[in-house]
Amino acid sequence: MDSKKIIKAIQEVLPTDPDSWKILGFFNTKQEILSFGNDSKILGRLFEVIIQPYLKQAAQKLGYTLGESSSQTVYPDFWFITPKNRLIAIDIKSTYRKGKNGKIGFTLGGYGSFLRNNTKNIYRTYSDYDLHLIIGFVYTRTSNPTKGVSTVQAMSTIVPPYKNVQLFVQEKYKIGGQKKGVGQYK
């Protein structure tokens, strides 16, 4: 499995315009924009939604099929299916810069579940995957984001809850550490 080729194919389809990663809120049927705050779980899910069409393009470019998890608790978020029916895991992770030096940290997931039991909380089995990739989104929280409801006409004045989005595509083992993240996984 040529990980560099796959990573390059993903990187080549990703937009370079920073505005492509800027989401202002949710639209309702009254054409109002509802802000979503800076909850990291909501932002993480938004990055998953944003990245999906680009992953589809990369899959087509590579001659693969894109699969998507039907549940937030199943690993991975996305996967490529190769012509030989092998899988490439693609997990989307996001975090915000902390402090003056911009230190970051990722929780890479509950390895304990599917590493101890090859079928628990995972699409197919762990041994079906030839490669595990992370697409990581790193952002800065905005100090005064817009809150509440805005009109479409006021769209240009909306301040999203994050800025300075950077992303990377990397093999999971290269960014993994030895200590627990949030402590809710054993």
Just list the catalytic residues: 77, 91, 93
Are 60 and 95 in contact, with CB atoms under 8 Å apart? Answer: no
- For residue 118, the 8-state DSSP code is T
134 - beta bridge partners? 91, 170
The residue among 37, 53, 14, 24 whose CA lies nearest residue 166 is 14
Q: 60 phi and psi, to 5 degrees?
A: -60, -40
Distance CA 44, CA 95 (A): 8
Q: ω before 76 within 30° of 0 (cis)?
A: yes
The residue among 21, 24, 18, 38 whose CA lies nearest residue 144 is 38
